[in-house]
Amino acid sequence: MGSRLGALEAVEARRPDGVSTQTFEPARFPRHCLLPTAYCLLVFLLALVPRLAALDAYVTIDESRWVQRAADFSALLAQGDGEDTFIIGHPGVTTMWTALAGMGPDRARRFSFREGRSDVTRRDGYLDTLLAARVPFALLASAGVAVVMLLGWQLFGAGPALLGGALLALEPFLVAHARVVHLDSALTTYTSVCLLAALVFWQRRGGPGYLVLSGLAGGLAFLTKAPSIFVLGFVPLLAGVEWWQTRRRSGEADRARRAAPLRVLGLLLWGLIGAAVCLALWPALLANPVGTLLEMARFTERVGGGEHDNFFWGIAREDPGPFFYPLALLFRLSPVTLLGLALVVGGWRRLSAEHRRTALTLGIYCLGFGLMMSVAPKKFDRYLLPLWPIFGLLAGLGMWTVARVARHVGSTALMVAVVALQAVVLIAVFPHYLAYYNPLLGGGAVAQRVVLVGWGEGLGRVADYLGTQPRPLGVPTVASSYHRVLQAHLGAEGSAVPLERVRMADYVVPYVNTLQRGAEAEALAPYLHSDSLDGASPDSPDWAQRVAPLHSVWINGIEYARIYRGPHFPIGGPVDADFSGRVRLAEFLAAPGSRWVRAGDEIEVLLRWDAPAPGDERSTVLLLGPGDRAIVQDERPVGADGPDPEGRPGEVHRLTVPPRTAAGEYRLAVRVSDPRGAGSLPPTAGEEGIDWVVLRTVVVEPGS
């Protein structure tokens, strides 16, 4: 690998008057392209391995929406409803096409509006469908890294480009987003290719293929997300600046004037290519171009104004302010890449004039994009992801320049060292790449005190823990602010619900960014402000306030989630009640364990008997009100649901509190009868005339 391979080389020339000048040859690869092709494949594979490994490690909160949108998009295309393919104003068209490529038509059909509007995470096969949809995103992102490397080769030469490609292949934050069905990774690929190909064409006099590539990528970027408008405005500005600088160069003014029509024609062709891509892939734009563009603008204005509080420097706020993105960059870029960027600045004078010009152009682009994103109150670290490929190439340039000046490090040794160091950073958070934060700044432990963290990662481990817990009353209900993510992991093994339905939850799972922003404070207050376990009683109305977490999920120093027992978690105990010497009730479990219910709620009761019933005895669970009047009851054969691991038979009773039940205290009781004519079997140690045993009291609250 040589520093001159494929680079634009300065050519010394002398004018007749003896003045030395520099001209630059058009960008081109070596005559035999085997070496660039081999390196391209190597970088692609280096990028692909971590992007596909353990693809099911985490699910993010927005992916279910994009699976639904992609399925709906496919259904609308099949119906010929072109104008209705405006589903959301991002517009996310490339995201939907890419997801469809992974899902396939059969899966897409099952998750579209044709099958109803129910939450897709509750449909059979959702997680498998999501994983299938993720594969083309990983392939696209890996190919994007390889193409960025090749374009960087034309701009800076083989050495800097290969170093930059290696950095990008293993950059944790870039890898993390390449594995999810969303917008930002695709936007990163398309905007970077659009910009770099335009630089090769206008700064390096590359062939028309680069103009076509830039136009194609620009159109795809526009179809992905609104911030692409920055690169679409920057490219014409770049072309104009290059033309103006050519006019100023001595002896080139006449050539610049002659080339002006060609530059205008080139820009026109570039725009037409992008527009053709948009019209070909988005029927809504073809059917109603003006209305579609206006609706996109309105959506961007509305969403950019913020949808919920952010979190910055320990305080929940709507707008984190101008320092959010600089700090986010420091936290999310790897130490190796940050070192390379510092070396660009430190070795600036060692760069060739042309490399300085290109690096300055890229720096201005990054600064302008960052300023544009800082204007809107809504800020997330992933919104700056489109700058990562630029940072990677500049970091590679810095490392290569300093290493060549020092002359103590061979090119192969430098490449191996960079790959090894970057791999160490990546492996440290495998496979939870979204949990990466710069260890030099304190990693995740410091990040969660400073910036908003968590996009759904960690909830897979919550589901794993819940899967190990006993389920005497069937699959659990779990309340969480990220219920759709949790439902994806639980599948048929549980039901995840929003926190506002916490009353009927067996488990409560606060998520890290919910706690950071102070969201759902009322629902979570009993769990987050517990004092101790001393004196806790399942029959106390404030029992939840004294329950400590059953389990916490930690990844890379971040406590992503806690698991508490919820109000509905079944509570019970031993009974040891003998009914006429026929059957003996050993213990019971009742849900909700908090004993507080409302009219219309369901009460579940599990009865366990010490031995099978000798005949056809039946048990009845009753809710007794004033005057021992049964408000509701449920009768089942004793031991109808079979034995537990200890061989004790049992059955589950379900009672729905009648809608008009008055508020107050009620008793939950059990009675045993013999259908062969013996009637009720009174408990041997019970009061005379009473044929039931009280299990616990239940408090019916006033209706909401």
Residue holding tokens 């399942």? Answer: 538
Q: What is the pLDDT of residue 206?
A: 87
Report the candidate in 95, 188, 91, 192 with the shortest Cα–Cα distance to residue 137: 95
Residue bearing the bigger pLDDT, 538 or 611: 611
- In this prediction, residue 544 carries a pLDDT of 44
Whether residue 250 is predicted with pLDDT greater than 80 in this model: the reply is no
Is the model's pLDDT at 42 over the cut of 80?
A: yes
pLDDT at 259: 62
- 582-596, pLDDT tens digit by residue? 999 999 999 999 899
- Give the number of C-alpha atoms closer than 13 A to the C-alpha of residue 169, restricted to the C-beta side: 29
Let me know the angle formed at the C-alpha of 512 by 507 and 516, rounded to the nearest 5 degrees.
125
What whole-number distance in Å separates Cα of residue 415 and Cα of residue 555?
30
pLDDT tens readout for residues 266-280: 899 999 999 999 999
Note the Cα 296 to chain centre separation in Å: 23
Please state at what angle helix 93-110 crosses helix 184-203, rounded to 10 degrees. Answer: 140
- Every domain of the chain with CATH number 2.60.40.2550 lies at 571-701
What pLDDT band is residue 245 in, cutting at 50, 70 and 90? confident
Query: Residue type for 265, please?
Result: L
Q: Which residue has the tokens 């492996």?
A: 427
Between 540 and 296, whose confidence is greater? 296
Residue 163 and residue 1 in contact, taking contact as beta carbons nearer than 8 Å: no
d(CA 625, CA 24): 94
For the stretch 116-154, pLDDT in tens is: 777 899 999 999 999 999 999 999 999 999 999 999 999
User: How do residues 290-340 score in pLDDT, each as one tens digit?
Assistant: 999 999 999 888 886 656 678 999 898 889 999 999 999 999 999 999 999
Average confidence (pLDDT) over 601-630: 94
Give the residue-averaged pLDDT of 534-560.
70
pTM: 0.89
Name the pLDDT band for 679 (thresholds 50, 70, 90): confident
Which one has a higher pLDDT value, 534 or 286?
286
* Three-state secondary structure call for residue 229: helix
- Rounded-to-integer distance, Cα 59 and Cα 112, Å: 20
Q: What is the pLDDT of residue 230?
A: 97
CATH of 571-701, one of 2.40.50.100, 1.10.10.10, 2.60.40.4070, 2.60.40.2550: 2.60.40.2550
Q: Check residue 530 and give its pLDDT.
A: 54
Rounded mean pLDDT of the chain? Answer: 89
pLDDT band at 412 (very low <50, low <70, confident <90, very high): confident
Nearest to 223 by CA among 89, 130, 72, 71: 89
Residue 569 pLDDT more than 90?
yes
Distance CA 83, CA 94 (A): 17
Q: What is the pLDDT of residue 87?
A: 94
What interhelical angle do 388-406 and 158-169 show, nearest 10?
130
Q: What are phi and psi of 665, to 5 degrees?
A: -100, 135
pLDDT at 15: 38
Which residues touch 260 (CB under 8 Å, ≥6 apart)? Answer: 243
Residue with tokens 């010009």: 357
With H, G, I as helix, E, B as strand and everything else as coil, classify residue 148.
helix
> In the chain, pLDDT over 90 holds for what percent of residues?
74
- Residues contacting residue 226 through CB under 8 Å, at least 6 positions apart: 89, 90, 296, 299, 300
Q: What is the mean pLDDT of residues 398-414?
A: 81
388 vs 148, 177, 192, CA distance in Å? 11, 12, 9
**pLDDT beyond 50 at 86:** yes
pLDDT computed for residue 413 by the predictor = 85
Q: What is the mean pLDDT of residues 107-114?
A: 90
pLDDT score, position 475: 93
Token reading at 484: 């759709």
Confidence category of residue 248, pLDDT binned at 50, 70, 90: low
DSSP element (H, E) containing 54: none
Query: Could you read off the pLDDT of 506-528 as tens digits, one per residue?
Result: 999 999 999 999 888 888 888 88
Beta strands in 238-322 (DSSP E): 310-312, 315-317
CA separation for the pair 381, 480 (Å, rounded): 23
SS3 letters for 332-395?
Answer: HCCHHHHHHHHHHHHCHHHCCHHHHHHHHHHHHHHHHHHHHHHHCCCCCHHHHHHHHHHHHHHH
